[in-house]
Amino acid sequence: MGTETATFGGGCFWCTEAAMKELDGITSVISGYAGGSTENPTYEAVCSGTTGHAEVVQVEYDPDEISYDELLEVFFATHDPTQLNRQGPDVGTQYRSIVLYHDEKQRERAAAYIEALDEEYADDVVTELDPLERFWRAESHHQDYFEKNPNDAYCRMHAQPKVEKVRERFQSKLQQV
């Protein structure tokens, strides 16, 4: 059947990328920007809050090994979907919770997941659900950031706990090394 693609934004893309890369059935995870209006956005422009983009990851996966619903489960388990325009210390619209769907089936699955999740939280789930119009790959130094910088203070405080959560909660779906 081949691979499929999913796009998620749940705060800093370094953290989301690191968590998703743990999963079996993932063929690639690319950090980037989506959901905005500026052509060829840069990290600095996105961080200014003027482009409308969110930091996102584009996940290529084998649906015979991991389902879109399982990706949604991991995505929502590794960030707080009730925080508007922030995750932890990262504040701004670029850190919003967003699912960018690639087709109608993804839209339906994500909408159903968000609706069910809304009942589990005391606060409203604020995750945006929008069609992916364009994905812009982030600069090369943002790719595989956690892997390349495991001792970085930000990574130790924010990415590492998300990776550990995935390892603990989703053991049956982990990459076999």
Domain residue spans of the chain: 4-173
Among the listed residues 40, 92, 33, the one whose alpha carbon sits nearest the alpha carbon of residue 57: 33
15 belongs to the catalytic site: no
Conformation bin of residue 7: beta by default, left when phi > 0, alpha when psi is -120 to 50: beta
For tokens 């939280």, what's the residue? Answer: 121
> What is the sign, positive or negative, of the torsion defined by CA atoms of 134, 138, 46, 126?
positive
| pTM as predicted | 0.94
The strand order across the sheet containing 128-131 reads 128-131, 97-101, 4-10, 54-61, 26-34, 135-137
Across the 177 residues of the chain, what is the mean pLDDT of every consecutive 10-residue run?
A: 94 95 95 96 96 98 96 95 94 97 98 94 96 98 96 93 89 62
> What pLDDT, on the 0 to 100 scale, is given for residue 5?
98
**Candidate list 12, 15, 47, 155, residue with the active-site label:** 12
CATH number corresponding to 4-173: 3.30.1060.10
pLDDT of residue 171: 75
